[in-house]
Structure 1
């Protein structure tokens, strides 16, 4: 597989899935904000590639 920008961003979104799940279930007051920021990063990479 060629590692061009769209493929790298897709792999980044793939690796962010477990990070998002862990951040979502953390028992801290900042956990929802962290999960929202991770979701935002994944959404921004999706939007930036025009999907």
Structure 2
């Protein structure tokens, strides 16, 4: 059985670009999260002043 190396390489490149796109799509919403550190307490939104 012969392998089609150029087609395999092109398929791998398309798969890699698809995974990179998914990773980028996941990173964009995460960049809007607040800056919280593990040693800080998470503020309660109900106790925050209005405004």
Larger Rg: 2
Shorter-chain TM range is 0.3 to 0.5
TM-score (norm 1): 0.40
TM-score (norm 2): 0.40
